[in-house]
Structure 1
Amino acid sequence: MKSGFLEKLVARLDRVVPGDVQQIVTRLIREKGFLEKVFEALHEGVIILDPNGVIGFLNHAACQFFGLDPEQAPGEEISTQIRGLDWESLGKPGRTVSRDLEVFYPENRFLNFYLAPIDDADDPGAPLGYVMLVRDLTTTRAEAEETLESERLNALTLLAAGVAHEIGNPLNSLDIHLQLLGRKLKKLPPGDRKPLEENLSTAREEIQRLDQILKQFLHAVRPTTPHRERKDLHVILNETLKLLEPELASRQIAVQLDLAESMPLAMIDPGQFQQVFYNLIRNAYQAIPCEKGRITIRTRVSDFEYIISIEDNGTGISPEHMGAIFEPYRTTKSSGSGLGLLIVRRIIREHGGEIAIESEENQGTRVLIHLPHADRPVRLLAAPETDPVIDL
C-alpha cells in the first residue's frame, strides 16, 4: 500500500528536530494500536488491501467469515484467499462495490461486502488502497425467510374462508344434483343407462377429489391447536401401517422396522401424528417407481427428544426441487396436491419439533422427525464421594 503520509514525512525528516520525530513515531504507534483494537472489536469483517488486492490487514471477524489464518493471509492476494472474488473486476479506481456472497467454509454463510477505495488527496486517480467491510447476513436472511413464510401463510389463511365459500358450496350443490340425476337414470332402460352411469360416476369422483383438496388446503392454512394426550408413538405408527397395508402389499413394498426397545409415552395429538405418519409413508412408497421397494422406519429416544426416521430407496429428490419442497402446491407427482409436506411440517412445529429431509437422486430419501420431550429430565452433577483433605 502506498504510504502517502509516511513518504512525505521521510522527505522532510531533515527539517524536523529529533524530539519531534520521536513524538510523531510514538503517536503513530499509539494510533495504530488503538485502530487495531477498534477493528478487532467490530462484529463486521475489515480487510485493508493495497492497490493490487494484496491483504495488508484483516480483523478477527474477517478471519472467521472466510476461514483465514491471521498470520498467513497478510501479504497474499485476496483472490487466492477468498474463492469467487476476481480482483481484476473488483479493484477499479474511483469505483465502489457492494455485493452479496455465499461461502461454504468454514460455515455456510450469506455475506455482504462493501469495497471502497482509499483516495490519495494528491493523486485522486491512484488510490492508496481499498477497504472491504463484510457483514454476516445469515441470521437476517433466515429471519426474512421466516417472516415471508408467515406472511404467505397469513395471506392463505385470509383466503381460506373465501375459498371455502366460493368453492365448497358449489361442490355441495353439484353433488346433490348428481345424486338426483342418478335416481332418474335408474328409470332408463339398462342399455341406455350404463354409459351415462359411467360418466356420472366419473363426475362424482372428480367432485370428491376437489372436495378432498379443499379440505387439505383449509387444514394446511388454518392455525390449529393440538389436543395432546400421552400416547405411544409405536402404537400410532403400527396403526398407520395397518391402514396402508393393502397399498404396500399391492406394490410388493417391504417395510423394515428398527424401533427403540423402550419408548416413553409422548404428549401428542394422536390424530395429527397419524396423519404425519400416513403422509410420509405414502410419499415414501409413491417415490418407489417399481415393485419390490423398501421402506425402513427407525425410532430412537435421547434425554431430550424422540427421533423418527422414515427412509425409502426410491427416486430421490433433485436439488432444484429440494429448495421448494415445503412450498404449497409444489409437487413432483401428477396426482398430488402439493400440500402433504406443508401439513406435516406444520403439525410437527406445533408440537415443538422440527423436520429434516435428506435425499439423493436415484438413491432415495430419508425424513427425520425431531420431537422434544414434553418434560425434559434435569441432569444433576453427582456430588464428590469424599471431600479433599488439606494438610496445614
Structure 2
Amino acid sequence: MEKILVVNAGSSSVKFRVYSVEERATLQQVISGQIDGIGVRPRLKASGTGDEKLIDRSYDPNEIPDVASAMRVAGAWLRDVQHVTFTSIGHRVVHGGPNFDRPICVDEAVLADLERYVPLAPLHQPNNLAPIRILLERFPDMPQVACFDTAFHRGHSDVADRYAIPDKLYAEGVRRYGFHGLSYEYVAERMRELMPDRAGGRIIVAHLGSGASMCAIQNGRSVESTMGFTALDGLPMGTRPGQIDPGVVLYLLSEKGMSPAAVQDFLYKECGLKGLSGISNDVRDLLQSSEPGPALALDHFVYRIGLYTGYLAASLNGLDSFVFTAGIGERSAQMRARIGEKLGWLGANIDPEANGENALRISHPSSRLGVYVIPTNEELMIAKHTLAVLSAAGSDDAVHRRTA
C-alpha cells in the first residue's frame, strides 16, 4: 500500500507523520511522532492508530546533535522497527518566495532556489530544507514535495501585496507574503466540511502559538494577513516583536552599534512575549505568574489581536466568523475569553461553558459574531498536497510549475 511520510522540521524538533493512501485517494494516518530537544535532551516519541504508544525514548545529546541526525534516527526506527516503506515524502517549507505559489516536486534546482530565502526566514527555512537535502542525497529517486506556508496567500490583490517602495524592489521579491498558510488552508477546508453555510463568508482565523498571525478569508481564499515579507511582522509572538517601526531597527544599527546579524538574532529570539515579560515566551508560564511583566505581555498580546481584528475586518468589509486555532487558540480557554472581550464591538459574546469545553462553537447562541475553535492539521494538508502533486506529475509542467 502506498505510504506518504510528512516531515515538519524546526530548529530543535522534527515532527513526522505517516499516512497510508486508501481507496479513492483518501488518507489514513498510521503513525504520528516527533524528536524534540535536539542537541539538548533528544527524545523520540511516536504513537500509532488509536493513539497507542509505539516508542518513548531519550537519547544522549551527542547521538542527536542536529536535524540531520534526528532524521537518520527517526528514519531508521520507521524502517527497521515499524517496517514502513515510503513511496513519497512531503515537507513543510515556510518561504516559497516569489517563484513558488503552490506545492512542487523538489530537485536540485528547486532546492537551490529555496535556499535563497533563508535570510527571510532564518528560524525556519534552514531546518525545513535540511531534511530535503539529506533525503535527496541518500534517496535521489524518492519523490519529495515542498509545501509552502506562503502559497495560500499568493492570490492577494496588488494593493494588499505591495509595500510603498519603488517597483524595482517589488520585482526583486520584496513584497508581503504572509505565512502559516498550510494551517489557514486546512481551517478553510474544515469549515467547508463542518459549517458549509459559513465557509463562504467573511472569516478571520487567528493562528495563535509561539508563532502567531491572523488571516482574513473570504470564499475560502486568503484576502489579507498580518505577516508580511518575513515572519517577524504582525502580532507579537513568543520571541518575535510583531509590528515594529523600521526606525527601531535603524536605531539599533546606528545608535546601539549592533551588527545586522545581531539585530536579526535580537528580533527573532529576544523580543515578543519573552522580551516584554522578562521571564518566558510561553503563555502558560505567563498565565501562572503574578508579576507585572508577564501581565503586561499578555495584555499587549490581547490588545494587538484586537487591533488586527479591526484591520482584517476592514479588508473584508465586515465579519461573519472568527476562528481560533494552533496551540494557544486551541487549548487556552482563558486567552480565548480575554480576546473575546476585545471582539465585543463586533458582536462577539463568548459562552463560558462552551469555551471551557473547547467546543466547536464557543460563542453564545445570541452572539452576532460566530466564534469557533478548529484544531489545525498542517501535516494532513501536506499529505494531501503531496498526493495531488504526484498524481499530476505525468508531465514536466506539472512537476516543475512556477509562477512568472
TM-score (norm 2): 0.19
The answer to which structure, 1 or 2, has the higher relative contact order (CA under 8 A, 6+ apart) is 2
- Work out which of the two has the higher radius of gyration on C-alpha atoms and give 1 or 2: 1
TM-score (norm 1): 0.20
